[in-house]
Amino acid sequence: MSKPEIEFQDGPAPTELVIKDLTVGDGAEATPGAKVEVHYVGVEFDTGEEFDSSWNRGESITFPLAGLIAGWQEGIPGMKVGGRRQLTIPPELAYGPAGSGHRLSGKTLVFVIDLLDVKVPPAVPVVEPATGPAPTELVVEDITVGDGAEAQPGAVVDVHYHGVEYDTNDVFDSSFSRGESVKFPLGRLIPGWQEGIPGMKVGGRRKLTVPPELAYGPAGSGHPLGGKTLVFIIDLLGTN
């Protein structure tokens, strides 16, 4: 595989996203919200001037689609690993109209993208609405027991998590929705996590129901979640 050459574009710039498969892959398919590893080169439609290229840097790049310009979010899903696709992206799906503050604003862009790998994030957990009064103590429930290394107090953990309010079932935070797990030392987290995660094993999924005293404190404490009982679904992916 080598750096592609993008031919100069004739005619007026398109006003909608144009997708052209140069090579159809036969591997895993990219889905919305996936994390993708790609090589790419980007040029300006009007001039053919190259403005970015992973090939020039000598290494591919991996990122979640959700963090990219809209043209990539719409144009990469459906690609399969091993494929090469050309995207012609109008300003509205790239860096906005002229004067919006980005050096490429107002410009139609052309990318040729090679899809090297796809990592599909796990499905967002479904949390059943709570019934009955909120517990006054930490409730720990193992949904799936892992068979890997066990998390210890004070460890650094790599987790996916999904958090809802006990009373309303409203989602307030979710790494699943962002498509990326998170690593952090347990000692920096709310007490409910510090008490509720140790003993989990990698590969496990645990539900924690955390009263305010072990979360963000009583109502009026200054945090938006102060006074609220919280429910977390946590997948333990790794621990040191």
Catalytic residues: 161, 172-173, 190, 216, 232
Q: Alpha-carbon distance 63 to 38, whole Å? A: 9
